[in-house]
Structure 1
Amino acid sequence: MSTLDILSEAERDIVGVVRDFVDKEVRPVVRELEHGDIYPEALIAQMKRLGVFGLAVPAEYGGTPVSAPCFVLVTEELARGWMSLAGAMGGHTVVAELLLRHGTEEQKRRFLPPMASGEIRATMALTEPGGGSDLQAMRTVARRDGEGYRVDGTKTWITNSRRSGLIALLCKTDPAASPPHKGMSLLLVEHGPGLTVSRDLPKLGYKGVESCELSFDCYRAGPDAVLGGVEGRGFAQMMRGLETGRLQVAARALGVGRAALEDSLAYAQQREAFGRPIWQHQSIGNYLADMATSLSAARQLTLHAAREADAGRRVDMEAGMAKLFASETALQIAVNAVRIHGGHGYSTEFDVERYFRDAPLMIVGEGTNEIQRDVITRRLIERGGLDT
């Protein structure tokens, strides 16, 4: 049984189109773009034409909605070609789902159609320089006045922040609230006076797409900027949104791990040592067997979480498990791919070194794996163990 058999025929076609795009358009140019840290304008334009940015948007708003398992497999294909491409649509999809689940009808009609076409791309702004995963410690504040909100503060590690036309900004609208999360809101903001992309952050991997710091200094947001129109709900809204984000990060990890495994399988059949292909040496064969087994398990765990999400259930534990296991798996596969390639694995003439640099992002992105373990443990206690 193929993994794609769980999808409808139409969804299998969508995954197939993205796979062809990756093989024919992405892989031939990715090394040059990645090493030059060049933003992939042409590839993003093709993703828009393929409808990738509208996969989480209902047809009534101009999108082509797919199931969560299909979204996972599309993301895996993109990351197999270049993890940065999957990152270019990750936060965008989370913001689309936040709008669908919590936005007013006016907010949906204003933003979702141009998001579906890719005319407007969206991102999230959560992390702050001194906060990391501790979102309740944030210092960005939106103060209400007669003209809307005045926003002051700094966000960091914001992907696509220069090119995103819409930013879902998590901030405090009531800094005195206790506990702090009750005073947090999500504001839908756009670039304008008072919002500065203060610097681009240098990165080990994840090249091509920008990760920046954003500075809000007397930035003005309209009175209708709060997602859903009611203050104080932002933390809960974002926690649900991060379930989708963590599924997306897990799917990215699947793509990186799969690319590293496929390259390793091909190399192990071509490379000979001591008169035979190196896959026939038990030490190399064991690496390949473990890589394939772990990747298959990670994919099933991620697809399970995706199916649970489609069923309308909370999947904070399931998405956390998927993100935790898939990201750790991708990191180990990337390391073993370097071992299999030997000296070539350390060379920039081979893609393996890129997987080795990209994989660590998934163990810290969308909440570190240490945070995922905390979430999983809390939910296990609340639920009385694993569901049967």
Structure 2
Amino acid sequence: MSNTAYQVKQATYDLFKTKRSYFTEEHEMFRTSLRKFIDKEVAPHLEEWEENQYTPREVFTKMGEQGFLATQVDPAYGGLGLDFGFNLILGEEAHRIGGGIVGASLHSTITVPYLETYGTEEQKKKYLPKFVSGEIITGVAMTEPGTGSDLASIRTSAVRDGEHYVINGQKTFISNGLNAELFFVVVKTDPNAVPAHKGVSVIIVERGTPGFSNGRKLKKLGQRSWDTTELIFEDVRVPVSNLLGEEGKGFRILMDKLAQERISAANSAYIVAEEMLKSTIAYVKQRTAFGKPISSFQNTQFEIAEMATEMSLARSFLNDIISRHMKGEKIDTEVSMAKAFVPEMVKRIAARCLQLHGGYGFMEEYPIARRYRDIPVLAIGGGTTEIMKTIIAKNLGM
């Protein structure tokens, strides 16, 4: 595998030179700094990390030291108080190279905001500065072996015992499962609640708590250097003060941040498509067949033109919903549309780009092979395509 996936060289990062009004000069300075970090600390090691199926924990500490993590956190808790655009850039550049540092985007954009919004003052003072510095990386423990999108059916229990909760259960597909020191664990505090989602709560559990351990390190089709594991809870006792928000309000807490997660996922998927198309254009220009570049064949030109058109339309739609989200508008239907459409589009683009590489597309030395493996999960995580379509239909009155 070649790290040219990040360095196919980007005279501009936007294939279509689309102006994104929500990005300022400060945003682009942040991007430039982050790119320099990735060029130095990530790109030279990515092949090794993919082989080892693990990104070293110290990478995240370095990111925190240089101010790349949880930039939105209030300065009162050690953050920079910056807007969503900075987290968007973190997600873009992490997905542009791919690999384990995508976990930094999950930490900053998805999990840390849970505590910012619903944490007590004591919890914020205790944890937020360490989230920003990279001393603590976070994950969310939601999915279980027997449940996927049906969050209300989770079986991991948290039983009140005086001033503690006793947690028992198992989680799977947990991103940052090895590197994170703190998890927002989704539990059932009332198994008899009607409807069932009213019995769901979120509890903070730190690594090292007795009874809390990792299960298997999961082997995946793609995104191999992003650590994903099982988590096991056996009579894990945590203080009642570790409850996030109110008991029985866990479902609402999780749903509240899903719009931002889904926007980030759709936008990041688009970035991967952009990288695949750029590398494919570069390849077909230099690869020859029958005495001339593949790029001169009409079929190649039509394939590239069609992919570029789809992507340009997706970029315009994403620009609109990102701008509206940053203005505080409620756009659940449009966000679900983006999450349903863009990752599926990118899966099609991955297959088409691989085909244009011919036999070389099947070889690990070309970045398209890894991209082809990495992209499918973006249509699953944060809500599957099918769940997104269900939401869209419901919001249309069906």
Q: What band does the TM-score fall into relative to the shorter chain?
A: over 0.9
Q: Does 1:196 align with 2:213?
A: yes
Report whether the alignment pairs 1:316 with 2:336.
Answer: no
Distance of 2:88 and 2:317 partners within structure 1: 11
Percent identity over paired residues: 36
- Secondary structure of the corresponding residue to residue 225 of structure 2: coil
Query: As a proportion of its length, which structure holds more helix?
Result: 1
Q: Which amino acid aligns with 1:258?
A: E
Shift of 1:209: 2.0
- Amino acid across the alignment from 2:304: L
Q: Which amino acid aligns with 1:320?
A: S
| TM-score, normalised relative to structure 2 | 0.90
Match in the other structure for 2:120: 104
Contact 1:56 1:65 in 2 (8 A): yes
Name the counterpart of 1:222: 239
- For 2:255 and 2:118, the matched residues in 1 are separated by 12
SS at match of 1:161: coil
Moved more, 354-363 or 143-152: 143-152
For 1:118 and 1:345, locate their aligned partners in 2 and report how far apart those are by CA, in whole Å: 37
Distance in 2 (CA, whole Å) between partners of 1:27 and 1:277 is 29
1:42, distance to aligned residue in structure 2 (A) = 5.4
- Does the Cα contact within 8 Å between 2:99 and 2:226 map onto a contact in 1? no
Aligned to 1:361: 377
1:212 maps to 229
Deviates more, 1:37-46 or 1:166-175: 37-46
1:41-56 matches, within 5 Å, as 41=57, 43-56=59-72
Residue of structure 1 in register with 2:8 after alignment: none
SS at match of 1:29: helix
Q: Deviation digits for residues 127-160 of structure 1, max 9, x if unmatched?
A: 1110111001111111111131001111110011
The answer on 1:304 being equivalent to 2:320 is: yes
Comparing 99-108 with 118-127, greater Cα deviation is found at 99-108
1:292 aligns with 2:317: no
Instruction: Select the residue among 24, 28, 34 that pairs with 2:50.
Output: 34
Secondary structure of 1:381 counterpart:
coil
Give the counterpart letter for 2:162 in structure 1. G
Gaps of 5+ in 1: 383-388
CA distance in 2, matches of 1:108, 1:193: 23
Q: Which amino acid aligns with 1:253?
A: A
- The range that moved more, 45-54 or 372-381, is 45-54
Counterpart for residue 142 of structure 1? 158
Q: Distance in 2 between matches of 1:357 and 1:82?
A: 11
Deviations 1:341-370 (A, max 9, x none): 111100011111000000111111111111
Shift of 1:41: 4.2
Alignment deviations for residues 255-313 of structure 1 (CA, whole Å, 9 cap, x no partner) = 32122111101111111222322112111112212222222333333333322222223
Q: CA deviation at 1:16?
A: 2.2
State how far apart, in whole Å, the 2-side matches of 1:179 and 1:142 are. Answer: 18
User: What does the per-residue CA deviation read over 1:103-147, in whole Å, with 9 as the maximum and x for residues that have no partner?
Assistant: 211111111111011111111111111011100111111111113
Look up the match of 1:342: 358
Does the alignment pair 1:374 with 2:390? yes
Identify which of 234, 239, 250 aligns with 2:266: 250
The range that moved more, 291-300 or 236-245, is 291-300
**Any idea what SS the aligned residue of 1:357 has?**
helix
For 1:344, give the aligned amino acid.
Y
**Structure-1-length-normalised TM-score:** 0.92
Output the CA distance in 1 between the equivalents of 2:107 and 2:142: 11
Q: Structure 1's 8 and 341: CA in aligned 2 closer, same or farther, altered over 3 A?
A: same
State how far apart, in whole Å, the 2-side matches of 1:83 and 1:38 are: 9
What is the one-letter code of the residue matched to 1:250?
Answer: A
Q: Does 2:187 correspond to 1:171?
A: yes
Aligned mates of 2:166, 2:189 — CA distance in 1: 10
Given the superposition, is the C-alpha separation of residues 292 and 28 from structure 1 closer, same or farther in structure 2, using an over 3 Å criterion?
farther
- Compute the displacement of 1:83 (Å): 4.3
Q: RMSD across aligned C-alpha pairs, in angstroms?
A: 2.0
Partners of 2:105 and 2:87 lie apart in 1 by 11
Structure 2 unaligned segments of length 5 or more: list them. 1-16
Q: How many residues align?
A: 381
Amino acid aligned to 2:223: Y
